[in-house]
Amino acid sequence: MPTTPFLRLAGTVSGVLRIAVTGGIAEGKSTVLGYLRDAGYDTISSDTVARELFETADLNEQLGRIAGLALPVSPAALRAAISNSPSIRREVNDLMHPAILARLKASSAPFLEVPLLIEACLQYEFDRVWVVTCGSQEQRARLLARYSDPEHVERLLRAQLPTTSKTPFSDFAVRTNAPEEAVRRLVVEEARLVLGR
């Protein structure tokens, strides 16, 4: 868990409502963000921001120092270092999370994808929380289709907080194990209801 103080996001940009979209791996967060973009809403993803920051020379160098890796640090090498060392994971989080949140704070997008929202105790930094879920059975099936390695899938699932532990924090749960058009309509209707446009 990060120890660095975080930036307050709720209502920080021109009075815009800030809605965090979270959920587990392979449950459809990016798909939901795509529906919102298609409907004309601005969105931003913390994963995209993290990738952009990772490629900056200064931050990449700091990550290399933390993880004891040769430069430039590759995403695969950093993932391996993090998975093998909780202390490295904490230091990487302490470095990355404030930088990511600063970028999110600067954005005027009402919808922000934050996969580790609950894990990092950031749910109170937003006006609303949407949790995207497809159920554990469907999640496992999607991951198996993606990676074709049951052991790797189980490691991924064990490393994450179960989505059932995230849904109690949600203002709106998006269930993606339903027909795509029905999910799209539901997401867009909720966005219009909450934002009034």
Q: What is the pLDDT of residue 129?
A: 98
pLDDT in tens, the chain (197 residues): 333 334 445 555 557 799 999 999 999 999 999 999 999 999 999 999 999 999 999 999 999 999 999 999 999 999 889 888 889 989 999 999 899 989 998 999 999 999 999 988 889 989 999 999 999 999 999 999 999 999 989 988 988 899 999 999 999 999 999 999 999 999 999 999 999 98
- CATH code (residue 99): 3.40.50.300
**Is residue 13 in some structural domain?**
no
Q: What is the pLDDT of residue 9?
A: 58
Q: What is the pLDDT of residue 6?
A: 42
Q: Containing domain of residue 132, as a range?
A: 19-195
**Is residue 63 in some structural domain?**
yes
Number of domains in the chain: 1
3-state secondary structure of 129: strand
Q: What would the DSSP string read from start to end of 87-104?
A: HHHHHHHHHHHHHHHHHH
**Is residue 6 in some structural domain?**
no
**Is residue 7 in some structural domain?**
no
Question: What is the C-alpha separation between 156 and 179, in angstroms, rounded?
Answer: 26
Structure tokens at 103: 């970028």
Q: What is the pLDDT of residue 33?
A: 97
Residues 18 and 12 sit within 8 Å (Cβ to Cβ): yes
Q: What is the pLDDT of residue 13?
A: 53
